[in-house]
Amino acid sequence: MAALAAALFAIGTYLLLQRKLSRIIVGLALLSHGANVLFVNAGRRGIPPLIGSGDPADFADPMPQALVLTAIVISFGTTALLLALAYRSWLLTNDDEVADDVEDRMVGARGHGDDVEVTDETMLIDEAEAREQESAAATTTVAPTTAATTTVANPTGEWST
């Protein structure tokens, strides 16, 4: 039984690594079958756990059964959702191939350049520093007419800086 579960896992994994969504779905379904085998196998084998139908000592373990029942229904939900994805993929591209994420690729490609936004902001700091350098480098004897261009009186009454 363990070998069966292992085989289901292996085949499921193999299918999961494909690019066709329908194969991925099949792979996922096989994986969940494998998990269910593991679960059921973990419990005791016996007669159906219906009270009154026999000695409780002969009952099959009900706990994994309840868990697996939940698992079956949930994996049906997963399959349905993935099928809907495949359907959507068909609506858009007429195929169910999972292509590489273009955005992700772009992020990867951008790694060698500067982030646009940061460059902008730091340029502003550069500018502020250049002004300050000018301000600091200028001694008191510098002709004030040139300095006048750096600070302009603001007639609107906005003195916040």
Gap between the Cα atoms of 61 and 48, Å rounded: 9
**Ranges within 3-32 binding another protein (CB under 8 A):** 3-20, 22-23, 26-27, 29-30
**Looking only at residues 30 through 49 of this chain, which bind another protein when binding is defined by CB under 8 A?**
30, 33-34, 36-38, 40-49
Q: In Å, how far are 27, 30, 31, 78, 87 from 65, measured between CA atoms?
A: 23, 18, 17, 20, 32
In the complex, what is the shortest distance from the CB of residue 96 to another protein, in angstroms, rounded to a whole number?
A: 6
Rounded to the nearest whole angstrom, what is the least distance from the CB of residue 34 to another protein in the complex? 7
Q: How far is the CB of 92 from another protein (least distance, A)?
A: 8
23 Cβ partners below 8 Å, 6+ apart?
15
Residue 49 carries which side chain, given as an amino acid letter?
P
Main-chain dihedrals φ then ψ at residue 59, nearest 5 degrees: -65, 145
The DSSP 8-state label assigned to residue 57 in this structure reads G
Site for another protein in 89-128 (CB under 8 A): 90-91, 94-98, 100-105, 107-115, 118-122, 124-128
Residues 53-72, interacting with another protein (CB under 8 A): 53, 56, 59-63, 65-66, 68-70, 72
